[in-house]
Amino acid sequence: MSELIRLTAAELSAKLAAREVSSEEATRAHLDRIAEVDAEVGAFLATNEEASLAAARAVDARRASGEELGELAGVPLAVKDVLVTTDMPSTSGSRILEGYMSPYDATAVAKARAAGLVSIGKTNMDEFAMGSSTENSAYGPTRNPWDLERVPGGSGGGSAAAVGAFEAPLALGSDTGGSIRQPAALTGTVGAKPTYGGVSRYGAIALASSLDQIGPCARTVLDTALLHDAIAGHDHHDSTSLDVAWPSMTAAARSGASGDSLRGLRVGVVRQLMIEGVQAGVKSSFEEALALIAAQGAEIVEIDAPHFEYAVAAYYLILPSEASSNLAKYDSVRFGLRVVPEGSGTVESVMSASREAGFGAEVKRRIILGTYALSAGYYDAYYGSAQKVRTLIQRDFAAAFEQVDVIASPTAPTTAWRLGSHGGDPMQDYLNDATTIPANLAGIPGLSLPIGTAVEDGLPVGLQLMAPAFEDARLYRAGAAIERLIEDRDGQPFWEQAPALAPASIGKAAR
């Protein structure tokens, strides 16, 4: 294993700036790592070696000319396939978009390129971001680098696994109900969902437009903050983009790691997020982390949020309703898969045959649910009622943040489960998002970071932090301080414990 891929993005950035290593060398090292292990991990759907190396050489040339570059210039980046790109296909994990080449880059990708980041591939995902395991991809599952028999979470399991398997130091993801945070928890990585509107959604293949948010994935809180700063900001292409001045997430993370950031911090624990079915090892790891935080002078406050128990039900009415509308555009007429049934070439028959062949089972299930919830006579009873519950959840958060600075919970109720063990039962996947969904319904920021491994299986456990809207920097400050506590307790950074560092290189966790 090349030493370059073991570096954090911040460490690699420092070496690039000092010209101890070139971007071309760093990019080549990560492309070699993909070639070495991705047949087992399945994190990537597409790479373009020629384009990636050309971009790296361009960064090296700019640096050699004396141009002042951004902190992440030359650092490799993986991109979730929900974001459209001009240099590689954009499929959103679906057959209906197989081979689709976008004429433009998503804004988050364009901003990353402008900051000098080098895209090295598109990562696997649950089809149209519908899933919690990356088993719903039309192109096969992604495997967890801690244990190749287990899922990496979803829908952005490809991005999290790529980072966890040292195939990329940074990745972009999307989070509609936990699709950045939950895979981060299951793979021992860090992931953030920014405040809704904090990062442009332009060029993100839409699932549920009032819930979707683009965000960063990495192995450390600082690296996540660095990428967040690179992609954040107003975009006139996105009508929901917030035109505000954001503080530096990087400065907040560095402050948290070096200062006494936890003293006096009021940390809320919502009773309704300690849901029935939380795995014993997840609960004990969470409680140990709270004890560490309290020992540093933080105040732990129990919070009651009575409407959180309805969050999953409301979410699975709002999301399918918006998805059924967003996915109506895949009609075989303008772009995407086209299947012409024998003996019938009408628009209706082609559209029906194409959608039948192009969409997977979970996508069809949610389109049907959403169409029903929006149908005449049921709109108010289902979609309308779910939106009222959403308002009540937002009010619960507002009341909670009058008492506390941040809210903490387990990111996911369990560690990574075995591939196929849910047996096609969608309810098991839906309930795995129970702790992450409320933040999406309220539009507030959330951050997941690893806090240890569960005693039962030795697999990663994630801690979720949530803050009021616009207070993303507060999460990075607290998250970096907690990360430092975990590192001090364990005697090494959490990511160094990953089995991907074992001599055989990948997947050597206990099974």
Percentage of the residues of the chain whose pLDDT score is greater than 90: 88
Look at 41 and 496; give whichever has higher pLDDT.
Answer: 41
The DSSP bridge partners found for residue 466 are 407, 446
Q: Is 508 a known active-site residue?
A: no
The answer to whether 416 and 151 are in contact (CB under 8 A) is yes
Between strands 76-80 and 118-123, the pairing is parallel
CA–CA–CA angle 153, 305, 177 (5° rounding): 25
pLDDT of residue 425: 80
Active-site residue identified among 13, 179, 354, 409: 179
pLDDT in tens, 217-254: 999 999 999 999 999 999 999 999 999 999 999 999 99
- Here the tokens at position 9 are 């993005």
The answer to whether 472 and 197 are in contact (CB under 8 A) is no
Q: Is 284 a known active-site residue?
A: no
pLDDT for residue 415 is more than 60 = yes
φ, ψ (nearest 5 deg) of residue 494: -60, -40
The DSSP bridge partners found for residue 453 are 460
pLDDT of residue 509: 40
Walk me through the domains of the chain, giving residue ranges and CATH numbers. 3-308+391-501 (3.90.1300.10)
Confidence of residue 511 (pLDDT cuts 50, 70, 90): very low
User: What's the rounded Cα separation, in Å, for the pair 82 and 106?
Assistant: 9
Confidence of residue 193 (pLDDT cuts 50, 70, 90): very high
CA–CA–CA angle 42, 412, 294 (5° rounding): 130
pLDDT, average across residues 443-468: 97
Which run of H or of E encompasses 482? helix 472-490
Look at 255 and 340; give whichever has higher pLDDT.
Answer: 255
Active-site residue identified among 13, 22, 52, 80: 80
Please report, for residues 63, 162, 277, the alpha-carbon distance to residue 123 in angstroms, rounded to integers and kept in the order given: 28, 8, 30
pLDDT of residue 478: 98
pLDDT in tens, 115-165: 999 999 999 999 999 999 999 999 999 999 999 999 999 999 999 999 999
pLDDT of residue 505: 54
pLDDT in tens, 288-336: 999 999 999 999 999 999 999 999 999 999 999 999 999 999 988 888 8
pLDDT of residue 430: 85
Confidence of residue 500 (pLDDT cuts 50, 70, 90): low
pLDDT in tens, 27-61: 999 999 999 999 999 999 999 999 999 999 999 99
Percentage of the residues of the chain whose pLDDT score is greater than 70: 97
User: What's the rounded Cα separation, in Å, for the pair 308 and 396?
Assistant: 8
At 199, is the secondary structure helix, strand, or coil? strand
Token look-up 């937002």 returns 394
Which run of H or of E encompasses 318? helix 311-326
- For residue 46, count other CB atoms closer than 10 A to its CB: 18
User: What's the rounded Cα separation, in Å, for the pair 261 and 298?
Assistant: 9
User: What's the rounded Cα separation, in Å, for the pair 210 and 213?
Assistant: 9
Burial class (CB within 10 angstroms; exposed 0-12, middle 13-18, buried 19+) of 365:
middle
Q: Is 155 a known active-site residue?
A: yes
pLDDT of residue 503: 40
Alpha carbon 357 to its chain's center: 28
pLDDT of residue 506: 56
Give the residue from 109, 66, 114, 71 showing the smallest Cα distance to 87.
109
Confidence of residue 1 (pLDDT cuts 50, 70, 90): low
At 198, is the secondary structure helix, strand, or coil? coil
pLDDT in tens, 333-345: 888 899 988 877 7
Active-site residue identified among 90, 133, 155, 200: 155
pLDDT, average across residues 418-437: 87
User: What's the rounded Cα separation, in Å, for the pair 341 and 47?
Assistant: 33
